[in-house]
Amino acid sequence: MHIPQKKLCQHLLDEMSMPAHIQAHSHLVCKVALLLTQGLLSAGVSVDIDLIQAAALLHDITKSRSFITGENHALTGGEYLSSLGYHEVGEIVRQHVVLDAYFSGDHPNEAEVVNYADKRVLHDRIVSLAERMDYIMYRYAKTHAHQQRFRQVRTLTETLEQRIFQYLVFPPDEVPLLLDSP
């Protein structure tokens, strides 16, 4: 398995000319993801911390380009990383908006951690899941069908939050305090 280390991830972000605000978002998603990962590891849940770090840092790698092209940035970000040989990272990036399968294993996995961490960061601020999902609904759900799908994803993500936090010694609303972040 090829996983880019932090320095190489930063190089990839710079190479893509990722704007500062999306870089700030990506770094904060990574901090949240690593906090959750450390908690899961402490509880004996086996997850790959390097894989989570890389996927969290790179999850929006094609986002700024998507503003111009209209491309599905989760899909193209995943494809781009896969084309560089980072297949596992690409698979997680591809699923950072919506997971292929929710709760597929006995324990939370890397894709679930990154997907959830992204749902706790609005721009460069840690927020509740409810606030982030309200924003997503307002910003992206333009049709009735979209709204219905988002409601389903919201319910699944609420369950995902419970699934992750059952292993952690702190509740969801303590994440910003633990990271000393606004």
Contacting residues toward Fe ion, per CB under 5 A: 60
Residue whose entry in the numeric block shows the structure tokens 């799908």: 149
Residue 83 is encoded by which pair of tokens? 């084309």
Residue at 112: amino acid letter: E
In whole angstroms, the minimum distance from the beta carbon of 84 to Fe ion comes to 18
Would you give the DSSP letter of residue 170?
A: S
Among residues 119, 137, 120, the alpha carbon closest in space to that of 173 is found at: 120
3-state SS, residue 9: helix
In whole angstroms, the minimum distance from the beta carbon of 123 to Fe ion comes to 12
3-state SS, residue 126: strand
Q: What are phi and psi of 122, to 5 degrees?
A: -105, 115
Taking the least distance from each CB to Fe ion, the nearer of 60 and 110 is: 60
Taking the least distance from each CB to Fe ion, the nearer of 60 and 112 is: 60
Positive or negative CA dihedral for 103, 125, 94, 38?
Answer: negative
* Nearest residue relative to Fe ion (C-beta): 60
In whole angstroms, the minimum distance from the beta carbon of 127 to Fe ion comes to 15
Taking the least distance from each CB to Fe ion, the nearer of 29 and 168 is: 29
In whole angstroms, the minimum distance from the beta carbon of 55 to Fe ion comes to 11
Taking the least distance from each CB to Fe ion, the nearer of 35 and 58 is: 58
In whole angstroms, the minimum distance from the beta carbon of 98 to Fe ion comes to 11
Count of Cβ atoms closer than 10 Å to residue 79 Cβ: 15
Taking the least distance from each CB to Fe ion, the nearer of 71 and 161 is: 71
